[in-house]
Structure formats: structure tokens, C-alpha cells
Structure 1
Amino acid sequence: MADLSAFPITKRWPASNPDIIQLYSLPTPNGVKVSIALEELALPYEPHLISFGTNDQKSPEFLSLNPNGRIPAIIDPNGPGGRPIGLFESGAILVYLAEKTGKLMPPDAAGRYETIQWVFFQMGGIGPMFGQFGHFHKFAAEKVANNSYPVERYRDESRRLLGVLEERLQDRQWIMGDAYTIADITTFPWVRGADVFYGGRELLEYDKFPAVMDWLKRCIARPASEKGLNIPARPA
């Protein structure tokens, strides 16, 4: 049995089975990337709910694994060299899981780097811009009621990024073509989330991006997505 005692987070969220991947997350656009990937890869894992309502992500135990205080994070008891490894940042975790299994990433070097660039496109563009749009459109609407600039600025940039994705998906089933990869997994939860979480479908003019909408439906319909989108389960 793996010894995870070197990770303080396991004292607050004990591992029932320390021999499998421990996932610390919440079903947000960032959080579900990893649960979806784990489901796609059929890797055994144990999810632990990190509640924003009680600021779990700011607790000393969580910060010991991710000093940035953001979900998701994982511990893999079977990391490089057979030793446990802790990781944070969803993009880094997806790359790690793909390379660990040899799946969800093209086997050739050129394809690998092309996939990673689209992962970075989401991490540096779609995630932050959609997130800021959602913040000002939904959560801070009253604070900016007399100032339309924040919503307009992030709305317009989000639309621009959707246009980049729309162009990429012309005559493509997935971002990398015929193969479903971590580029899709990292991106589609944010496109879905801008609608489901932020109610931004109309403002972002989703109907103007038919290739993106068709791709989004394909992503959501995958069995691993249907399951992973709800892991870890929120309290009833």
C-alpha cells in the first residue's frame, strides 16, 4: 500500500485507497477537466470535494499541495520512478496523464506539441477571458451596473476566441482532427460553462459559431464526459 503521509492534504481528506490517484476538485470548468480525463483513460481514482463555500481551497492542507489555492490538484501514488507525485494546474495535470498513459495525445512529437499549444490556448485565453466575462456578467453585475466596459471588454474577447476555435474546427471532428485529445478536454468545459454557469449564450452569440456548437455536443455526449462533469459530486 502506498504511503501518502508526506502529503499533509491527506490528513484532512484521507485516502480510502492510497494506491490510486487522489483527485481534489469541484465540478467547475477547470475542475472537471481532470475527472473527465481520468474517466476517458479508465484510470482508477478517488475524488475529494473541495468546497468553495467553506474556503477549502485556502486551507493549510490544500495549500500544501497547491500553494496557489486553486482546484484541481492530484496525488498520483505511482508517479515517475514509482514514487508519489503531487500536481496542480489543470493543464499540467492533463499533459501528465496523457504522457503517463500514452493516450489522448498524438504519439509523434509534432502532434504532441500542436496539442499542447491548443491546451495553452485554453489556459491562457479561453479560461481567463470566459472567467472574467462570467464574473462581471453574473457575479458582479450589480457592481458594474453603471459601467458597461468590463462586460463588453470580456464579451468581445470571448467572442474573438470563439472565432479562433470556430476556424480551427472547420471540417474537423475534434481540435486535433480525427483524434479526441486533451485539447478538447481542456476547452469544452469552458465553452459549456459560459452558458451553463454564467448564462452567457446570447451575449456571446453562440449561434454564430456552428462548428463550435456541434463540437461541444460531441464532447458532452461522450460517456466519460457525462460522468466526469459531475465529479466530485456536490453535496445534496
Structure 2
Amino acid sequence: MIDLYTWTTPNGRKVSILLEELGVEYNAHPINIGQGDQKTPEFLEIGPNNKIPAIVDQDNGLKLMESGAIMIYLAEKYGNFLPTDPMARIRVIEWLMWQMGGLGPMAGQVHHFVHFNPGKAEYAEERFSAEANRLYGVLDKRLEGREFIVDDYSIADMACWPWVSRYEWQQIDLTQYPNVRDWYRRIAAREAVQRGYHVPKKVGEIPPG
């Protein structure tokens, strides 16, 4: 049994989507980051960086933070969505790290400056919007002629997809990135993705792309 401590953000949805795809039992515990739940002593025992998601594996008592690390751990524990072949495995990890170091942080800055605080920092809006568009271009090129980011559906797709699902917040026009748009729609059609998107609660429909 996995205890998942999460909220309705792209980083949180990465892990709930993976758990749904794996089909394993888990309990979702809402951590309302708007109310400061991530700063409580109880949560900090599990996620000392004040960030969701975090998990506790009841099988062995492991407490784990950082969504990328959690995804690798769960994929290895349950033997799916991360290849065992060394070359395929490192390629999936490569694109997972791309999301962790690029797509997520840059899109998050667009959310902050463009979506939530428009007009307060013109330079920041321009800089992070340009970088987000550059990253969408990188992903679009990667997906040319591919159904998924790395051969088979993997944690790389599950990590990137929730960030792309906020394309409207980022003022991204997916028609400019047709390979990303088609990939986004393919993944959005998956039942496990639809379930995982609404954990720990439903706050709206999945954007259609």
C-alpha cells in the first residue's frame, strides 16, 4: 500500500497518474498547499522540502519526496513504465530529467508571472514565455514520427503530460506544436490518466487540447 500526499498540481498529478496506470492500491491524502498544509510538522516528516508530492510505502516504511524520484521508485518497484534495457532506460530518465529541470520549472514560472500576476514584471513574462515556447518546440521535434516520447509509453510521458495540460495557463497555442497536441490528446484519452488527473479531488475538466 502506498500513501500519496498530494495536491491538484502538475507535479502531484504525475504520481497519481502513474499509480493509476500501475493499478496498485494507494491512499491519497490531500495536502492543500494554498492553506499551508505542506508546512506542518507532520508533512515535513515525510517531505522535508515543503513540496508535494511525497509518499510513504507501507511495505517497507520508506518515505520519499521529489516527484521524479518517486516515479522511478514506483516504476522499479512494480516493474512497469521504465525499461530494464540500459539504453532504453537511460533515454526515459533523460526525458524525465528534462521535465524536472526544464519544462516544469519554466512552465511554473509562466504560471506565476503570466497567469497569476500579469503586468507586474514584463521582463519575466517575456523571458519565461519565450523559454516555455522553446521547450514546447523541443518536445514537438522529439515527438515527430513517435507515438510517445521514448518508444513505449513511460514515466517520461506521465511526467511531461500534466505540465502540458496547463497549456492555457501558459498561453500556449497547441496548434503551433501539432506533434505535442496529438500526443497530448492520445494520453488524455487514457482512462488511468483521467482518473489520476482528478486526485485528490476534481477541480475541473481536463483541457481538450
- TM normalised by structure 2 equals 0.94
The residue that corresponds to 2:181 in the other structure is 213
Q: Where in structure 1 are there 5+ consecutive unaligned residues?
A: 1-19
The residue that corresponds to 2:167 in the other structure is 194
The answer to whether structure 1 residue 128 and structure 2 residue 105 are counterparts is yes
The residue that corresponds to 2:148 in the other structure is 174
Structure 1 Cα separation of the partners of residues 202 and 148 of structure 2: 30
Secondary structure of the corresponding residue to residue 148 of structure 2: coil
Secondary structure of the corresponding residue to residue 130 of structure 2: helix
The residue that corresponds to 2:201 in the other structure is 233
Pick aligned residue for 1:184 from 157, 179, 190: 157
Secondary structure of the corresponding residue to residue 194 of structure 1: coil
Structure 1 Cα separation of the partners of residues 90 and 149 of structure 2: 13
Pick aligned residue for 2:29 from 45, 48, 56: 48
Structure 2 Cα separation of the partners of residues 43 and 143 of structure 1: 44
Structure 2 Cα separation of the partners of residues 167 and 69 of structure 1: 35
Percent identity for Structure 1 against Structure 2? 46
Structure 1 Cα separation of the partners of residues 105 and 91 of structure 2: 21
- 2:175 alignment partner AA: D
Per-residue CA deviation, residues 55-102 of structure 1 (Å, 9 max, x unaligned), is 000111111111110000000112xxxx21010100000000111111
Structure 1 stretches of at least 4 aligned residues deviating more than 2 Å after TM superposition:
none
The residue that corresponds to 2:41 in the other structure is 60
The residue that corresponds to 1:21 in the other structure is 2
Q: Where in structure 2 are there 5+ consecutive unaligned residues?
A: 204-209
- TM normalised by structure 1 equals 0.83
**Structure 1 contact 115–181 (Cα < 8 Å) conserved:** yes
Secondary structure of the corresponding residue to residue 63 of structure 2: strand
